[in-house]
Chain A
Amino acid sequence: MFAESALNIRNKRVQNLFRILFLMMTVLLIIPVVIILATLVAKGGSIISIDFLFTDPTNGMTAGGIFPALLGTVWIVAVALLASVPLGVAAAIYLNEYAGDNWFTRIIQLAIINLAGVPSIVHALFGVGAFVIFFGFGTSILAASLTLAIMTLPVVIVSTRESLRAVPQAFREACWNMGATRWQTIRRVVLPNAVSGILTGVILEVSRTTGETAPIMFTGAAFFLPFLPQGVFDQTMALSLHLFVVATQVPGVPDNLPFGVALVLIAMVLLMNSISIAFRMYLRGKKKW
């Protein structure tokens, strides 16, 4: 009796030890990031103002605001979404609703995984070779956005496919039994019940696209432009590249300027991710079947 309970106490201690050890590792993973974010806020917070967001950079980008970069990012993200969302959703519909479980589908899945795994700078090279040179778009919003669209396509496909998969098969079978074609079933029953899940994926893609830098450096984003883009064949500034530029390429930038740019960028990205997560949780709480 006594020996056994001693063993139990020992086991409990060991277990608690491990518990604390793993907790520490988790915390250590998080703490540096918290410190970093706090530093960003502390050093960059002072420069953030409405003016900062909505005025042009001045004095060779050592002063002024970030408006052209902000607007350029909106352009690039919007055009990228126009290309990748329809394509990605359609691809996910094919994979989940039409494709059989065979080697061909497997190859498509491998291609998607690899598309997500190809380094962003290689996507940039592809964008230069294909869109800038071969298709003759030049360095433009269009070329940059298409490069980003292909790069983030897996995000849309994977999240859409997951929300399609969450719609129980019995609903499809009920529709097919009624004489609905596959497409009628998808349009009337599957998509309406997956659309909010798809939307969370799209928000995630916006966040991803906003932060990418390497793929747009040589395809459409410029270090500095004295004018705002008028169409998709213009070059543009972009927030992510602007951070790189003011942090490394411009001499005499006041300390708080790049911190401010980084803060705006990270705030945009985290805000969109948070919206996506909150939306997902809201949906999980809403029972539909």
Chain B
Amino acid sequence: MSAINPLNRSMTTDFDSRNMDWYIDKFVQSIVFVAGISAIIFIIGIFVFITMEGLGFLLEDFSFREFFLSPFWEPSDEDAPEYGILALVAGTASVTGLAMVVAIPFSLGAAIFIGEFASGKMREYLKVLVELLAAIPSVVWGFIGLSIMNPLIIDLFDVPVGLNVLNAGIILGLMAAPIMTSIAEDALKAVPDRYREAAEALGATRWQVIFKTVLPAAKNGLLGAVLLGVGRGFGETMAVLMATGHAVNIPGSLFDPVRALTATIAAELGETAVGSPHYQALFTIGIFLFIITFLINLTADLIVRGIRKG
């Protein structure tokens, strides 16, 4: 019964002593702190490990001029291997560029419709649909490019092969669009309603409100969405591996087959001996990809966050 009298408790126990709970709290705090910084450790780890594997090439066979300016990627030529990624960069850039041409208008249009026009249930359904589209795995997209788009392009444009910039660009555009849509829609949602109300109070119509008020206010977020789309296109592997035609080639038309940076690694890593110059060169491409996507993501984040603070 002594517990019922509050005074007893204050008199009998020394309340200023550390107990089990105090130590458990400190322990948990250090555990979750380590988990918290794990992301930093992993990012640094990724950079360190791929650099370590690629280091031999970087120190010996690597020539800045050849690597970035030569269009010849012939690492398995026994007499005079050549490690130029220009054509691969061109392949990645052309596919990503076309993907953005496809994805930007549609994803922004869809974001505007979902965010500004659709209401209630309709908006809810569309958002779910967009989320589901974003979930389709890239290998399935690659397979679609290979087995559905390929014959379609051959039929429609009367070309011998349908695995080319056009195919991969469209596939990549369809892949990137849902993610860009949902990020863009978030950016539109972040524009406070009072902006819209103020513009409407001045007699602006809905579309005037959208074009003159909402879009300018959300432009950083929208730009961030586009940049993340670009980053995604740049880093996509399986879809471009299966749909580009996989030929080292600086494309002259939409119907030329190309080869992407990522796809080169995916296709060749399995055939190279660990530690060989070819193997190390593939890791060097990895370093390049890591740095590029790091910069793209960093920029996107700075742009998006910049507006949130302002």
Contact = CB atoms under 8 A, between A and B. Distances in A.
Task: Check A-B contact in the complex, CB < 8 A.
Answer: yes
B59 interface: no
Interface string B91-120: 000000000000001110110111011000
Interface string B122-138: 00001011011101111
Nearest to A214: B237
Contact of A211 (B39, B117, B139): B139
Contacts of B143: 243-244, 247, 258, 262
Given A133-B274, A184-B25, A247-B147, A121 B113 contact: no
B206 A15 contact: yes
Contacts of A213: 137-139, 237-238
B42 A22 contact: no
B286 to A, nearest CB: 4
Which among A23, A117, A122 has the greatest number of chain B C-beta atoms within 10 A? A122
Nearest to B128: A277
A93 B31 CA distance: 10
Given A21-B109, A122-B286, A181-B24, A26 B114 contact: yes
Contacts of B206: 15, 18
Interface stretch (A94-102, A165-173, A227-235): A94-102
B117 A119 contact: no
Interface stretch (A52-60, A62-70, A74-82, A104-112): A104-112
B148 A39 contact: yes
Interface string B231-269: 110111110001000000000000000000010011001
Contacts of B131: 273, 277
B68 interface: no
A273 to B, nearest CB: 4
A12 B138 CA distance: 42
Given A123-B46, A181-B21, A213-B137, A153 B283 contact: no
Given A15-B207, A91-B35, A118-B235, A217 B228 contact: no
Interface string B56-87: 00000000000000000000000000000000
Contact of A258 (B22, B38, B147): B147
A48 interface: no
Interface in A29-87: 29-30, 32-33, 36, 39-40, 87
A248 B105 CA distance: 32
A14 interface: yes
Contacts of B216: none
A193 to B, nearest CB: 18
B270 A217 contact: yes
A129 B133 CA distance: 33
A88 B39 CA distance: 9
Nearest to B235: A119
B53 A111 contact: no
B140 A99 contact: no
A91 B293 CA distance: 23
A90 B35 contact: yes
Given A30-B129, A118-B294, A126 B144 contact: no
Contacts of B177: 29
Interface size classification for chain A:
35 or more
A107 B178 CA distance: 28
A23 B235 CA distance: 30
A130 B42 CA distance: 11
B50 interface: yes
Given A26-B113, A248-B242, A258-B147, A111 B46 contact: no
Interface in B161-200: 174, 177-178, 181
B137 A266 contact: yes
Contact of A108 (B36, B116, B132): B36
A244 B139 contact: yes
Contacts of A110: 298, 301
B33 interface: yes
Given A133-B274, A211-B139, A111 B42 contact: yes
B33 A94 contact: yes
A240 interface: yes
A117 B82 CA distance: 30
Contacts of A212: 137
6 contacts: A21-B109, A94-B36, A119-B262, A121-B266, A183-B25, A214-B238
Given A117-B294, A211-B140, 12 more contacts: A36-B148, A119-B234, A119-B235, A121-B262, A122-B293, A129-B52, A150-B42, A157-B39, A181-B21, A269-B136, A273-B131, A277-B131
Interface of B: 21-22, 24-25, 28-29, 31-33, 35-40, 42-43, 45-46, 49-50, 52-53, 105-107, 109-110, 112-114, 116-117, 126, 128-129, 131-133, 135-140, 142-144, 146-148, 174, 177-178, 181, 205-207, 210, 228, 231-232, 234-238, 242, 262, 265-266, 269-270, 274, 282-283, 286, 289-290, 293-294, 296-298, 301
